[in-house]
Amino acid sequence: MKTPRWSDVTPEALYLNRRQIMAGAAALSLAPQLARAEALTPNTYEEITGYNNYYEFGTGKEDPAANASMLTTSPWTVKVDGMVDKPGDYDLGELLTGLTVEERIYRFRCVEAWSMVIPWQGVTLASLLNKIGVQSGAKYVAFETLVRPEEMPGQKMGILEWPYREGLRLDEAMHPLTLLATGIYGKPMPNQNGAPIRLVVPWKYGFKGVKAIVRISLTDQMPQTTWNMMAANEYGFYANVNPTVDHPRWSQASERLIGAGLLAGRQDTLMFNGYGDEVASLYAGMDLAVNY
């Protein structure tokens, strides 16, 4: 199987060009259907890599860009364990061999009510799960971030319980939109965004997108997740983007698009972050105010 190389994906200049064209179109208030395309005009590389949440490197938005370069991301080993046919400690390259790197431009919505549009490269989590062989009876996938306090200074502080942990229900993990991302704008994943590999689940709040993954476990128990452990009444396991279910301390009805400018104002939050056609059926019959 041919794996696309970085040079096969759209060069950054092309995205930027399209971004300028779309911004121009919006300014001239062209046809309303352009509004949707405009909403998917990617943020700049500088915005995506300069405004981050990554508490292993500090709690400020600029701390990850300032501190994450010290993290060694090669070699990188990922432990695969639990209810899988092929458990083991895999070198990352070996784990990804044979999987197709795809480009996905996704809306990204942080639970703090800011958003971006990010052009990711990565493999579907489904393709990786199929490679390692999920055993019958497995119901969830759990993920862990690296623990290495000497390179991750935030881990010397008790801000969160380390390792950072996340999890998905197996059907969410197998959904074709769910990505293990390895790059942005055709460049290898920047350290501050979760190098060398991080999770991207576009219909969920950004905290589900665990960075610097070193462990993937298949289990029949709903895994513990970092923010839920920290404040269960504020951060649920599901964390689906939902304009009608507010965070206890702020509204989720609208969001601030990073880079839109001071005069742009807030934009409406979209149900499932705009991916409802693809994912709403996963939650049929569930009360999303209870399962937040």
Residue 255 as a binder of ligand MTE (CB under 6 A): the answer is no
Please state, in angstroms and rounded to a whole number, the distance separating the CA atoms of residues 224 and 72: 27
List Cα–Cα distances, 133 to 80, 148, 218, 232, in angstroms: 11, 29, 10, 32
Stretch that binds ligand MTE, among 17-25, 93-101, 208-216, 275-283 (CB under 6 A): 208-216
Please state, in angstroms and rounded to a whole number, the distance separating the CA atoms of residues 167 and 261: 34
Residue 55 as a binder of ligand MTE (CB under 6 A): the answer is yes
- Minimum distance of ligand MTE from residue 53's CB (angstroms): 4
Stretch that binds ligand MTE, among 7-15, 69-77, 128-136, 207-215 (CB under 6 A): 207-215
Of 15, 41, 42, 56, the residue at the interface with ligand MTE (CB under 6 A) is 56
Residue 78 as a binder of ligand MTE (CB under 6 A): the answer is no
- Minimum distance of ligand MTE from residue 132's CB (angstroms): 21
User: Hey, what amino acid is at 36?
Assistant: R
Count of residues touching ligand MTE (by CB under 6 A): 16
Please state, in angstroms and rounded to a whole number, the distance separating the CA atoms of residues 203 and 216: 21
Of 41, 43, 53, 182, the residue at the interface with ligand MTE (CB under 6 A) is 53
Stretch that binds ligand MTE, among 24-32, 97-105, 204-212, 269-277 (CB under 6 A): 204-212
- Minimum distance of ligand MTE from residue 116's CB (angstroms): 7
Residue 43 as a binder of ligand MTE (CB under 6 A): the answer is no
Among 118, 81, 38, 43, smallest CA distance to 216 is for: 81
Of 143, 164, 238, 292, the residue at the interface with ligand MTE (CB under 6 A) is 164
**Residue closer to ligand MTE (CB basis): 56 or 172:** 56
Phi-psi region of 129 (alpha: psi -120 to 50; beta: other; left: phi over 0): alpha
Per-residue binding letters, 87-116, with ligand MTE (x by CB under 6 A):
-----------------------x------
**Residue closer to ligand MTE (CB basis): 147 or 222:** 147
List Cα–Cα distances, 244 to 144, 240, 252, 273, in angstroms: 30, 11, 7, 12
Helices (H), 117-169: 125-132
**Residue closer to ligand MTE (CB basis): 196 or 206:** 206
Residue 210 as a binder of ligand MTE (CB under 6 A): the answer is yes
Of 131, 175, 204, 211, the residue at the interface with ligand MTE (CB under 6 A) is 211
Among 87, 49, 43, smallest CA distance to 260 is for: 43
Please state, in angstroms and rounded to a whole number, the distance separating the CA atoms of residues 189 and 54: 14
Query: Using an 8 Å Cβ cutoff, are 85 and 136 in contact?
Result: no
Half-sphere exposure of 62 (CA within 13 A, CB side): 1
Helix, strand, coil % (nearest 5) of the chain? Answer: 30, 25, 45
Stretch that binds ligand MTE, among 19-27, 49-57, 83-91, 269-277 (CB under 6 A): 49-57
Please state, in angstroms and rounded to a whole number, the distance separating the CA atoms of residues 214 and 198: 10
Report 116-155 residues binding ligand MTE (CB under 6 A): 145
Neighbours of 236 (CB within 10 A): 17
Residue ranges that bind ligand MTE, judged by CB under 6 A: 52-56, 110, 145, 164, 193-194, 206-207, 209-212
